[in-house]
Amino acid sequence: MAKQEDIFKGVISHAKEYGYIFPSSEIYDGLSAVYDYAQNGVELKKNIREFWWKSMVQMHDNIVGLDSSILMHPTTWKASGHVDAFNDPLIDNKDSKRRYRADVLIEDYAEKLHQKAEKEIEKARIRFGEFFNEEEFVTTNPRVMEYKSKQKQIIERMAHSLETENLADVKALIEELEIACPESGSKNWTDVRQFNLMFGTKLGASAEGAMDLYLRPETAQGIFVNFLNVQKSGRMKIPFGIAQTGKAFRNEIVARQFIFRMREFEQMEMQFFVRPGEEMEHYNYWKEARLNWHLTLGLGKENYRFHDHEKLAHYANAATDIEFNFPFGFKELEGIHSRTDFDLKAHEKFSGKKLQYFDTEQNQSYTPYVVETSVGLDRLFLAVFSKSLKEETLEDGSTRTVLALPTVLAPIKVAVLPLIKRDGLPEIAHKIIADLKLDFNVVYDEKDAVGRRYRRQDALGTPFCVTVDHQTIEDNTVTIRHRDSMKQDRVAISDLYKIVNEEVSMTNWLKKLIK
Ligand code: ATP
């Protein structure tokens, strides 16, 4: 089995080789944690966004869209708490000069204890076979209990120190646990400092008159400040939602995981406004609905899990992450948060404008509560791309690389290949393309032997290859080859649209969401 690290490297190089993702400004040696989406990447990204958008906006009559600006009045970020509290604790290793997030160093240490406990449990499971009682073992085995209690103590102490801004204690904890720099192995640390993740910029021409602005670190605030505008102009009735996709910017301290953690990324967020007191019902609904949405993509149920937050942010009364099994382990893909009335109340206070809703059924005004679903488009891209990339061993012992993308998301749906470059076959291929391209992204390929062309389309993720041969001239039939099964069928050219559409149409994929 290939090591996790090698699999991840394979994903990154495949993304580059097949025109999905390039490092930004590569000719200048790139810019750290910033990436560009190439000719195929931009299509895959657009398709993911569209699938999300349609399932949120088009399929819910009480959810509407919004496209708010990246630049917002700076008081927005004072009200939201980002100016004062959107910080990460950073620490430098004096020997390697490497910078780390102090909380991540501690969490990684705690995760190792968790893994040790899991290893003991696994050993016992094998030893006791069918008589194994996990619950009993976990609550009685001294070693497992010690690992688990130490892990809990560490996380609790860190959370408390961060909450009370006791950064000296965060450093003390790193020293007590004897955490070493993963690069140099040294324990020679600087003090822990808070670092604000927002990118600053200026509005205005002259230095004196310029106004300090921020690039938005999340899209959500654009929704909150427009809450009443949308509600009134759309005559929306609670409960209702506002959905938005767009760029967000965070000056991340540590960003070494390809497009998982970038400094410029895209979010897809939906804020659902509800009656106070009814938020848990909606929170539970969206938790399940969002997981189902992910499962529809068919990447495997076992690759998702919930991580309910025990320690909640100051604005939340419930929160969970949908975690995905990335090539580097389970990590957050999407957050679902019950944000109470924190944001609307804060904007009301800072702006002096009322942001209340008049509920005609209850005959009273109130500040709605908010349930948010927030997913990173780039993380979703990485989830889909990395799980779809497979090395398969075929019956004849040869191997093939296939990017088994969910067909609805694939950048190119059909490749049309003339068997040879003459005898009128290219002309027929171009005619087929002219008909199909009104509905699908289609490419033409005549280079190399047809087997090699199939392999290239497999690696690109194209669900169908259509081959035009001499029989086509006689009876208007072609061979259609399916990417995943490699099955080939002889079909009439006039049936191609139907066969392809049945498999790739977004309508059919959206139908899977209806229970
Ligand atoms: P993390 O704990 O991984 O930093 P977060 O909890 O700060 O993430 P949220 O503020 O809840 O993230 O943002 C919602 C979603 O936006 C995340 O679930 C993730 O998919 C995405 N996201 C956040 N930060 C980044 C980033 N730097 N690069 C890419 N996607 C991101």
pTM of the model: 0.90
Atom from ligand 1 closest to the CA of residue 376 = 20
- How much is the average pLDDT of 26-38? 94
Residue 449, C-beta contacts closer than 8 angstroms, at least 6 positions apart: none
Has residue 95 got a pLDDT over 80? yes
pLDDT band at 255 (very low <50, low <70, confident <90, very high): confident
Enumerate residues lining ligand 1, CB below 6 A. Answer: 218, 250, 252, 261-262, 265, 267, 332-335, 374-376, 378-379
Where b means 16+ CB within 10 Å and e means fewer, 35-52 reads bebbebbebbbebbbebb
pLDDT in tens, 290-329: 999 999 999 999 999 999 987 787 788 999 999 999 999 9
Instruction: Please identify which residue in the block is written with the tokens 């090699």.
Output: 452
Strands (E), 164-310: 193-196, 200-203, 211-214, 240-249, 264-274, 304-308
Spacing, Cα 93 to ligand 1 middle (Å): 25
Q: What is the DSSP letter of 312?
A: P
- What is residue 210's predicted lDDT score, i.e. its pLDDT? 81
- Pick from 379, 381, 382, 384 the residue to mutate for probing ligand 1's pocket: most ligand atoms within 8 Å of its CB: 379
Instruction: Please name every residue paired with 202 in a beta bridge, in sequence order, or none if there are none.
Output: 212
Phi and psi, residue 353, nearest 5°: -105, 140
Phi and psi, residue 186, nearest 5°: -90, 155
Has residue 205 got a pLDDT over 80? no
pLDDT band at 91 (very low <50, low <70, confident <90, very high): very high
Query: Alpha-carbon distance 131 to 115, whole Å?
Result: 23
pLDDT in tens, 47-80: 999 999 999 999 999 999 999 999 999 999 999 9
Q: Is residue 182 within 8 Å of residue 155, measured between CB atoms?
A: no
CB atoms < 10 A from the CB of 190, how many?
12
Instruction: Choose among 61, 88, 106: nearest CA to 236.
Output: 61
Residue 253, C-beta contacts closer than 8 angstroms, at least 6 positions apart: 88, 90, 99, 100, 101, 195, 197
> Which residue's C-alpha comes closest to atom 18 of ligand 1?
334
pLDDT in tens, 176-188: 999 999 888 999 9
- How much is the average pLDDT of 10-39? 96
- How much is the average pLDDT of 385-406? 95
CATH of domain 412-513: 3.40.50.800
> Which residue's C-alpha comes closest to atom 16 of ligand 1?
376
Residue 203, C-beta contacts closer than 8 angstroms, at least 6 positions apart: 71, 210, 211, 213
Has residue 209 got a pLDDT over 80? no
Reading the block at residue 504, the tokens are 């790739």
pLDDT in tens, 416-473: 999 999 999 999 999 999 999 999 999 999 999 999 999 999 999 999 999 999 999 9
For the chain, give the mean pLDDT: 95
> Which residue's C-alpha comes closest to atom 2 of ligand 1?
332
- Proportion of the chain above pLDDT 70, given as a percent: 100
Where b means 16+ CB within 10 Å and e means fewer, 69-90 reads eeebeeebbebbebbeebbbbb
Minimum mean pLDDT among 14-18, 107-111, 202-206, 269-273: which range? 202-206
pLDDT band at 2 (very low <50, low <70, confident <90, very high): low
> Which residue's C-alpha comes closest to atom 26 of ligand 1?
261
Instruction: Choose among 440, 411, 432: nearest CA to 505.
Output: 440
- How much is the average pLDDT of 106-133? 91
Q: At what angle do helices 142-163 and 102-128 cross, to 10 degrees?
A: 160
pLDDT in tens, 359-379: 999 999 999 999 999 999 999
What is the Rg, in whole angstroms, of the alpha carbon atoms belonging to the chain? 27
- What is residue 311's predicted lDDT score, i.e. its pLDDT? 74
- What is residue 72's predicted lDDT score, i.e. its pLDDT? 97
Spacing, Cα 303 to ligand 1 middle (Å): 18
SS3 content of the chain, % helix, strand, coil (to 5): 45, 25, 30
Residue 364, C-beta contacts closer than 8 angstroms, at least 6 positions apart: 358
Has residue 1 got a pLDDT over 60? no
- What is residue 275's predicted lDDT score, i.e. its pLDDT? 97
- What is residue 208's predicted lDDT score, i.e. its pLDDT? 73
- What is residue 315's predicted lDDT score, i.e. its pLDDT? 83
- What is residue 283's predicted lDDT score, i.e. its pLDDT? 98
Instruction: Choose among 162, 43, 32, 151: nearest CA to 91.
Output: 162
Spacing, Cα 414 to ligand 1 middle (Å): 34
pLDDT in tens, 147-156: 999 999 999 9
